[in-house]
A and B are shown apart, each in its own frame.
Chain A
Amino acid sequence: MASLKDLKNRIASVKATQKITKAMKMVAAAKLRRAQDAAEAGRPYAERMGTVLGNLAAGFEGRDDAPKLMTGTGRDQTHLLLVCTAERGLCGGFNSSIARLAREHADKLLSEGKTVKIVTVGKKGHDALKRGYGQYIVENIELRGLKSVEFSDTKHIGDLVMEMFQDEKYDVCTLFYAQFQSVISQVPTAKQLIPAQFEAKDEAQDGSSEDALYEYEPGEQEILETLLPRNVAIQIYSAILENGASEQGARMAAMDSATRNAGEMIDKLTTTYNRQRQAQITTELIEIIAGAEAL
């Protein structure tokens, strides 16, 4: 049984930890707001891009001269996994759930006899995948010390992915990140980047007559060829923004439960402490009474 002094020290240390987790929670809450705003502000661009590309791509369906970024290389052998995670830990299952999804994906591909290459964005993802999948990692990109991520900060990731595609180093590229839904729910998501996939537009029926009248300058083909690489960069950028919001959300939830847990622990320790003190007093009293009776 721990002595009274030990218990006192224990309580003090748990209290100190609780203060830290509480502060981290509040910092995460403040950062979450900013990250969420950034993610939401970035959405119109990505959405518009998707709509325009979807319309354009529909016209190229099944044509031989469609850009390779859309149709793929015709093979399905080498897969590039682009795994986006956070730079820092202490955010619950955020990093590990993305890494787990990527690992499952990689295992599935490997068991099918495919070649896997991994590019990680963020230190934590690299750490998580280094063991066991180290030989597949071709590149690790860190976005350290950036207060807010601007499009130009992530452009080089897109450039790298494009360069590798042009050098035919892979056939299919999949992006892994966590979609932000709410503070308590971030969904690890796998999204195929190359060949590009566009969601079928439900407005296609009524819009089709209008689409036919679209004029393009320069040609349809040139526009598609300039937009597709840009779309890759945008997709990566918006994934990183989503990730930023998810990370802060996950950290906030994790720190909140850590704070609550510390509170429970303090309560329990205080009860034990009081009980022991009581016991000690009782023992002392019994000793005194026993001494008095003996006289």
Chain B
Amino acid sequence: MAEAFQFELVSPERLLLSAKVTDVIVPGSEGEFGVGAGHSPFLSTMRPGVVKALSEDGSKHEYFVRGGFADVSASGMTVLAEQAIPMADLDAGYIAQQIQDASEDVADAKDEDARQAARLVLSQLQELQAAIKAS
């Protein structure tokens, strides 16, 4: 049994999860990464995706997150997400809606930089949709 550490998932509205976990997988902006107990201090932004946490008692928590960052420190790990929804409450329609919003952002973008950023979000969402369909 791996060592457990404190994990918190927070959205601006509330604290979604605070538990002792053994493993967390986070969709970092430069690739997914896993965190175990005793990980070196680390700070990363996130792309839209799924945060998976395996708690000490063996139960699995999955949340869809959008925007935000993950902070790993000696005292534990915190994921600050702009939006976080439990996977159980998530349906294909919601993702489709997000994709539509993102494509509108691409169309509405005023300059090249904004368009680039919006396109990145769109492609990340599409990737996610494909992944959910496949699973």
Contacts and interface: CB of A to CB of B under 8 A. Distances in A.
Interface stretch (A41-49, A60-68, A139-147, A192-200): A41-49
Given A217-B29, A217-B43, A44 B13 contact: no
Contact of B10 (A44, A152, A214): A44
A37 to B, nearest CB: 9
B71 A52 contact: yes
A218 B46 CA distance: 10
B82 A217 contact: no
Interface string B62-83: 0000010101011000101011
Contact of A230 (B8, B71, B82): B82
B41 interface: yes
Contacts, number: 72
Contacts of B15: 41, 44
Interface string A202-239: 00000000110111111000110011001000100110
Given A52-B71, A226-B45, A41 B40 contact: no
Contacts of A45: 10-12, 80
Contacts of A215: 40-43
Q: For the side of the interface on B, what is the size category?
A: 20 to 34
Say whether chain A's binding surface is mostly helix, strand, loop, or mixed: helix
B89 interface: no
Interface in B1-38: 8, 10-15, 28-30
A38 interface: yes
Contacts of B12: 42, 45-46, 151, 234, 237-238
Given A151-B12, A217-B29, A234-B12, A49 B43 contact: no
23 contacts: A41-B13, A42-B12, A44-B10, A48-B71, A48-B78, A49-B80, A52-B71, A150-B13, A151-B12, A151-B82, A151-B83, A152-B83, A211-B41, A213-B40, A215-B42, A216-B42, A216-B43, A217-B44, A218-B29, A218-B30, A223-B69, A227-B69, A238-B12
Interface of A: 38, 41-42, 44-46, 48-49, 52, 56, 150-152, 210-211, 213-218, 222-223, 226-227, 230, 234, 237-238
The 10 closest A-B pairs by CB, nearest first: A151-B12, A41-B14, A217-B44, A214-B41, A45-B10, A215-B42, A45-B12, A44-B10, A216-B43, A44-B15
